[in-house]
């Protein structure tokens, strides 16, 4: 009776290992595709222009030939409520381990890793300051009305009070989605540039962790760009999206294109020997 039992156990081990190898192969192929697509310098160079172009084209389509109502045009759709509105949270949670693992793998210096992780604190500050500015602008330029269709003014002094009384607050509502999705997509692409120099042993657990994070960040970037297009096509006026996108571009360029090049900054992702030497000199 033991022999059949043992044989059965031996046969069951093969099928359990095979999906694991097959699944890892799929992850590897997906990871290499995303590396080849998003890590290119051309992507970092042209993605800002692509976002601006798509925002203008989508806005023009919305004004001249609006698309039919769909699930994506509903502000309460799942993608908008649980992903776009929490875009910075998703970006933060995936970039945190990615920056920590890749930067420590390349430099071996915890101090440098902590310094690079401070980019997430900078991003959080930018997110908070910009959304606060947007909210204040909407407040000081707005008034309360009975409904979006009936422009009969009601006497309420704040958007919160207006909403609580069943009114509709109309002000200059800068597109927070255009700002945040632009900033998050560009930040992810900038941080993924570190993959040019990341080489890991496939048998090491670090390789699996980084591969998984690359796939997650890659799909998140494509998703942010897609939702940015949906925002351009379905929501906000052109001027509101222009200002939102402009804030996102300025936040990205002000950090990665200017401040992070300075010695008193979190620094850029390590991408070459010369950059590593330059960042090391910051710390001495």
> Which residue do the tokens 């936040």 mark?
251
Asked if residue 206 lies in contact with residue 200, where contact means CB atoms within 8 angstroms, the answer is: yes
Separation between Cα atoms, residue 182 and residue 177, nearest integer Å = 8
Question: What are 165-169's contacts with CB under 8 Å, separation 24+?
Answer: 168/144, 169/138, 169/142, 169/143, 169/144, 169/145
Write down the catalytic residue from 26, 105, 177, 196: 177
Answer yes or no: 204 catalytic.
no
- Give the pLDDT score at 270: 87
Asked if residue 267 lies in contact with residue 116, where contact means CB atoms within 8 angstroms, the answer is: yes
Torsions phi, psi of 166, nearest 5? Answer: 80, 15
- Give the pLDDT score at 34: 84
Asked if residue 75 lies in contact with residue 235, where contact means CB atoms within 8 angstroms, the answer is: yes
Answer yes or no: 177 catalytic.
yes
Asked if residue 187 lies in contact with residue 193, where contact means CB atoms within 8 angstroms, the answer is: no
Where helices occur in the chain by DSSP H, the ranges are: 2-38, 41-64, 78-79, 87-107, 110-140, 159-164, 176-192, 205-234, 238-256, 273-283
pLDDT in tens, the chain (284 residues): 444 444 444 444 444 443 455 666 777 888 888 888 888 889 999 999 999 999 999 999 999 988 898 898 898 999 999 999 999 999 999 999 999 999 999 988 999 999 999 999 999 999 999 999 999 999 898 888 877 665 666 666 778 888 777 788 888 999 999 999 999 999 999 999 999 888 877 767 888 899 999 999 999 999 999 999 999 999 999 999 999 999 999 999 999 999 999 989 999 998 754 444 444 443 44
Write down the catalytic residue from 139, 156, 170, 236: 236
**Tokens representing 142?**
């707005």
Asked if residue 217 lies in contact with residue 188, where contact means CB atoms within 8 angstroms, the answer is: yes
- Give the pLDDT score at 153: 66
pTM value is 0.84
**Tokens representing 204?**
């090491």
Residue 29: helix, strand or coil by DSSP? helix
Residue 142: helix, strand or coil by DSSP? coil
């Amino acid at each position: 009776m033991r022999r059949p039992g043992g044989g059965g156990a031996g046969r069951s081990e093969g099928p359990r290992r095979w999906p694991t190898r097959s699944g890892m192969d799929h992850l590897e192929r997906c990871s290499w595709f995303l590396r080849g697509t998003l890590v290119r310098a051309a992507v970092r160079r042209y993605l800002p222009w692509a976002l601006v172009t798509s925002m203008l084209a989508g806005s023009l389509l919305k004004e001249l030939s609006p698309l039919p109502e769909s699930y994506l045009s509903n502000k309460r759709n799942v993608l908008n409520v649980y992903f776009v509105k929490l875009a910075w949270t998703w970006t933060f949670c995936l970039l945190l381990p990615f920056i920590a693992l890749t930067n420590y793998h390349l430099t071996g210096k915890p101090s440098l890793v902590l310094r690079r992780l401070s980019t997430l604190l900078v991003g959080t500050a930018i997110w908070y300051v910009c959304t606060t500015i947007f909210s204040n602008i909407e407040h000081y330029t707005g008034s309360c009305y009975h409904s979006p269709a009936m422009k009969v003014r009601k006497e309420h002094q704040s958007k919160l009070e207006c909403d609580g009384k069943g009114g509709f607050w109309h002000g200059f509502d800068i597109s927070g989605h255009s700002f945040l999705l632009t900033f998050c997509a560009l930040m992810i692409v900038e941080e993924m540039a570190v993959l040019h120099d990341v080489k890991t042993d496939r048998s090491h657990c670090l390789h699996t962790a980084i591969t998984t994070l690359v796939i997650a960040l890659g799909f998140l970037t494509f998703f942010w760009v897609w939702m940015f297009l949906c925002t351009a096509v379905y929501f906000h006026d052109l001027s509101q999206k222009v200002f939102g996108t402009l804030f996102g571009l300025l936040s990205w360029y002000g950090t990665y294109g200017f401040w992070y090049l300075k010695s008193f900054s979190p620094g850029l992702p390590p991408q070459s020997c010369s950059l590593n030497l330059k960042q090391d000199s910051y710390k001495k």
